[in-house]
A and B are shown apart, each in its own frame.
Chain A
Amino acid sequence: MRILITVFAALFIAAAPLSAQEETITVDVSGDVQEALQEALILAEPGSTIMIPAGTYNFTVALSLDVPNITLRGAGMDETILSFKGQTVGSEGLLITSGGVWVEDLAVEDTPGDGIKAKGVDTITFKNVRVEWTGGPKAENGAYGIYPVQSKNVLIDGALVRGASDAGIYVGQSQQIIVRNSVAEYNVAGIEIENSYYADVYDNIATHNTGGILIFDLPNLPQQGGHSIRVFNNKSVNNDTPNFAPPGNIVGSVPRGTGIMVMSNRNVEVFGNEMGENATVNMLITAYSQDYDDEGFNPLAQEIYVHDNTYGRGGWDPDGLAKEVIAPKTGVPLPDIVWDGAVGSMWDAFFGPDADETIHINEKEGTSFANLDFVYDMIVPWQAGIDTDISNYGGSIAPLAPVKLPQDKAKD
């Protein structure tokens, strides 16, 4: 134990974004800022800090960073604005492919593609960063706002993301993730954790999205089998923006007015959240339901534990698939919590899945629930029905350990 603590302390020191001997470069904004900033991003020595003064700067090509341990800092998310309204080259505003990068106090606006993407990096931090499409929610907006993928040790803290035509904050195929203190609004998906392991999503506000917080797992990808994710103390309320994702994308199927949605995945704990004013459903748990060709993929949501959340109004005006498939079975309004009931075998369908593969719910008296029993439905359709007795779904899963990140000094 003592050795472990020492190691952690050492990591904290190593990951500190600034120390006395490291170089600080202030980008010269008097001339061609695009060239000056991109040159700094290429020529900076590892460990340097690149400062971008307050101002709005226009870019026509994507920026990229491939030098490790760089701190890229503006004067504030409303002061230093990188605008990509006129971008003609590159599928994101800023691409980060080196580890140990810390991005702080700046905004990226109006990228035709993704806002800021970090691909395949170890240790990446977004602190007080804003990514926004300033014209409001539109299908022409870029897909992802803050987009770390195939990365580990991901910290997103104090972010503000608006208008993404897919997910505002999207963490895909990654491990060891914290998303906290952030606001995601007017996106299709506010916050989405996809095909990822070990994530803590807490103290965020997801509002006016199509769906607030999504925990997804998809087939045919290098990393799949998402697990060990905690979603707690978030507010996912008033998600009332009609789905504006280009069809064909998985989030295109998310109904307007979804609070928190878990699709496939294993070992997900959802607790202490406030959900309400979500017109389709506050809490939705489903299997991956599209056809696919991937023997290694488990489409089911298993070992999901939902407890101690608060539920405001929900389900009074279901949208899309929920309207077509769920409402006819449950009636309107939909219950606070809906599980599709998809399980792994005929045995499970008749007798219920094993305790370690099912879902568990522990909410205060009066919380409404429905297991749609979709698989059972197919086997014995004459007994078709739903199970609304929440007390059949007690129990819990083994507690998940909090995620710890080497760059996170704010936490103990």
Chain B
Amino acid sequence: MRALFQAFVLCAVLLSQASWAEVEVDDEALMAKRPAKLLSAYGLFRDGASQLPSAGVYPYDLQQPLFTDYAHKYRFIYMPAGQSAAYSADETFEFPVGTVLVKTFAYPADFRKPVADIQLIETRLLIHQQDGWNAWAYVWNEDASDAVLKVAGKSFPVSWTDETGKVQNIQYVVPNKNQCKGCHTYNKKFTPIGPKARNLNKDFPYSHGSKNQLSYWSSLGLLRGAPSHGNIPSVPKFDDATAPLGARARAYLDINCAHCHRLEGPASTSGLYLTYGEKNAVNWGYKKRPVAAGRGSGNLHFDIVPGKPDLSILIYRMISTDPAVMMPEVGRTTVHKEGVELIEDWIAGLE
């Protein structure tokens, strides 16, 4: 069992950043062909244990995150001085060479107190190098003094107390580089998934006050070409009961499935395309027959049977943890109960 340690919520930590020594991001280390053995070598954090980023490394958040066994995630972005990303309305922004997307996975000991006793698990880096994006996972050591490169991935037990007070135990899986690519592929090229306009278009509680992330990035010169605020697409949060059910369900499938399930993605072979904008009903699963699904079909005949979640392969695969059946194939070992309920409600209401 790894030691738990004390950390703080990001926005609180950022308030105290003046008290920390300056650490500079090491562009050379980031661009090197071979990855560094220790995360600290890149200088992305002033203090890794409390997830306090260095100057020029900005925290951000997604409206609709990928489900990863209920892990809490801290995201940061870094671009070399003077560089900026090009805005895109529908796809991942075009980030300059030298960009790093940082994502730390963590579990508070008790989800009812999410700012105390946080166990850092791993930090994944997506680094945009000269010849394309590269992915590496660093696993935090016992005292959170640093994180160590794991090329072939790793698996170990993690436990926490959930919002209802129940203790949850899982076998957490750190992916290897190829497993990362299993999802992060667009037209056969390694590509980030989350940082799309519709997913970033939300407020973030910066230390100096809450601001829309995209407006803030534009004001910092990190983003160019973004239209005025009202013309940027957005998606609802999946658990926002005030938003339309259909939009929430499609947004959920978009971030959890569509990185593979789209014409340009690794699951194109299936003909099931779950991008937010997919209009062809058969392609988003409506009365669509399975292809090469094997046991994944679960004796059912269609991905989505309108009005009948129990007869829909989509649900069958979301509630499974059998590696030959479950979807997504990697990234979870447990069932996302709340996500399943959302998709069940949506299918139940389809005609």
Chain A residues with a Cβ under 8 A of chain B: 34-36, 38-39, 41-43, 60-62, 64-66, 87-91, 95, 97, 111-114, 119-120, 139-140, 142-144, 147, 149-150, 165-166, 170, 172-173, 194, 218, 220-222, 246-250, 290, 292-294
Does the CB pair A246–B295 fall under 8 Å?
Answer: yes
Q: Give the residues in chain B near A246, CB-CB below 8 Å.
A: 294-295, 297-299
Roughly how many angstroms separate A218 CA and B155 CA in the complex, as a whole number? 39
Does the CB pair B292–A144 fall under 8 Å?
Answer: yes
Does the CB pair B313–A220 fall under 8 Å?
Answer: no
Q: Give the residues in chain B near A150, CB-CB below 8 Å.
A: 268-269
Q: Give the residues in chain B near A62, CB-CB below 8 Å.
A: 179, 323
Cβ-closest chain A residue relative to B289: A290
Given A89-B173, A170-B292, A221-B269, do A248 and B301 touch, yes or no (CB 8 Å)? yes
Does the CB pair A248–B293 fall under 8 Å?
Answer: yes
21 CB < 8 A contacts A-B:
A34-B152, A38-B151, A38-B152, A66-B181, A88-B171, A88-B323, A89-B323, A89-B333, A97-B178, A112-B322, A112-B323, A139-B295, A143-B295, A165-B294, A173-B269, A220-B283, A220-B289, A222-B268, A249-B293, A249-B294, A294-B282
Roughly how many angstroms separate A296 CA and B152 CA in the complex, as a whole number? 43
Roughly how many angstroms separate A49 CA and B322 CA in the complex, as a whole number? 33
Cβ-closest chain B residue relative to A249: B297
Does the CB pair A41–B178 fall under 8 Å?
Answer: yes
Contact with A along B314-341 (1 / 0, CB 8 A): 0000000011101001100100000000
Is the interface on chain B under 10, 10 to 19, 20 to 34, or 35 or more residues?
Answer: 35 or more
Cβ-closest chain A residue relative to B181: A66
Cβ-closest chain B residue relative to A248: B297
Does the CB pair B329–A90 fall under 8 Å?
Answer: yes
Q: Give the residues in chain B near A166, CB-CB below 8 Å.
A: 292, 294
Does the CB pair A90–B330 fall under 8 Å?
Answer: yes
**CB of B343 within 8 A of chain A?**
no
Roughly how many angstroms separate A38 CA and B185 CA in the complex, as a whole number? 20
Q: Give the residues in chain B near A114, CB-CB below 8 Å.
A: 294, 324
Cβ-closest chain B residue relative to A140: B295
Q: Which of B267-313 contact A (CB under 8 A)?
A: 268-269, 271, 281-283, 287-301, 313
Q: Give the residues in chain A near B229, CB-CB below 8 Å.
A: none
Roughly how many angstroms separate A139 CA and B322 CA in the complex, as a whole number? 14
Does the CB pair B323–A113 fall under 8 Å?
Answer: yes
Shortest CB distance A349–B (Å): 27
Given A246-B298, A248-B301, do A65 and B178 touch, yes or no (CB 8 Å)? yes
Cβ-closest chain B residue relative to A35: B152
Does the CB pair B323–A87 fall under 8 Å?
Answer: yes
Does the CB pair B155–A89 fall under 8 Å?
Answer: yes
Given A144-B294, A220-B282, do A95 and B313 touch, yes or no (CB 8 Å)? no
Top 3 closest A-B pairs, CB basis? A143-B294, A248-B297, A64-B178
Shortest CB distance B255–A (Å): 20
Roughly how many angstroms separate A221 CA and B269 CA in the complex, as a whole number? 7
**CB of B63 within 8 A of chain A?**
no
Q: Give the residues in chain A near B301, CB-CB below 8 Å.
A: 247-248
Does the CB pair B178–A222 fall under 8 Å?
Answer: no
Does the CB pair A38–B329 fall under 8 Å?
Answer: no
Roughly how many angstroms separate A140 CA and B297 CA in the complex, as a whole number? 12
Cβ-closest chain B residue relative to A98: B178
Q: Give the residues in chain B near A42, CB-CB below 8 Å.
A: 151-152, 176-178
**CB of B208 within 8 A of chain A?**
no
Cβ-closest chain B residue relative to A292: B289
Cβ-closest chain A residue relative to B326: A91
Shortest CB distance B331–A (Å): 10
Q: Give the residues in chain A near B323, CB-CB below 8 Å.
A: 62, 87-91, 112-113
Cβ-closest chain A residue relative to B270: A221
Cβ-closest chain A residue relative to B286: A293
**CB of B79 within 8 A of chain A?**
no
Q: Give the residues in chain A near B289, CB-CB below 8 Å.
A: 220, 248, 250, 290, 292
**CB of B266 within 8 A of chain A?**
yes
Roughly how many angstroms separate A220 CA and B112 CA in the complex, as a whole number? 46
Cβ-closest chain A residue relative to B300: A248
Contact with A along B95-123 (1 / 0, CB 8 A): 00000000000000000000000000000
Shortest CB distance A11–B (Å): 21
Does the CB pair A143–B292 fall under 8 Å?
Answer: yes
Shortest CB distance B34–A (Å): 9
Q: Give the residues in chain A near B176, CB-CB below 8 Å.
A: 38, 42, 64
Roughly how many angstroms separate A293 CA and B280 CA in the complex, as a whole number? 10
**CB of B182 within 8 A of chain A?**
yes
Does the CB pair A143–B324 fall under 8 Å?
Answer: yes
Does the CB pair A248–B299 fall under 8 Å?
Answer: yes
For B155, give its contact among A60, A97, A173, A220 (CB under 8 Å): A60
**CB of B80 within 8 A of chain A?**
no
Roughly how many angstroms separate A97 CA and B176 CA in the complex, as a whole number? 14
Does the CB pair B271–A221 fall under 8 Å?
Answer: yes
Roughly how many angstroms separate A35 CA and B179 CA in the complex, as a whole number? 14
For A222, give its contact among B173, B269, B326 (CB under 8 Å): B269
**CB of B153 within 8 A of chain A?**
yes
**CB of B166 within 8 A of chain A?**
no
Cβ-closest chain B residue relative to A139: B295
Shortest CB distance A91–B (Å): 4
Roughly how many angstroms separate A327 CA and B98 CA in the complex, as a whole number? 68
**CB of B25 within 8 A of chain A?**
no
Q: Which of A88, A248, A293 has the most CB of B within 10 A?
A: A248
For B182, give its contact among A64, A88, A143 (CB under 8 Å): A64
Q: Give the residues in chain A near B155, CB-CB below 8 Å.
A: 60-61, 89
Contact with A along B49-88 (1 / 0, CB 8 A): 0000000000000000000000000000000000000000
Interface contacts beyond A39-B151, A246-B294: sample of 14 additional A-B pairs, CB < 8 Å, sorted by A: A39-B152, A42-B176, A60-B155, A66-B177, A88-B171, A97-B185, A112-B324, A142-B294, A150-B268, A222-B269, A246-B299, A249-B294, A250-B289, A250-B291
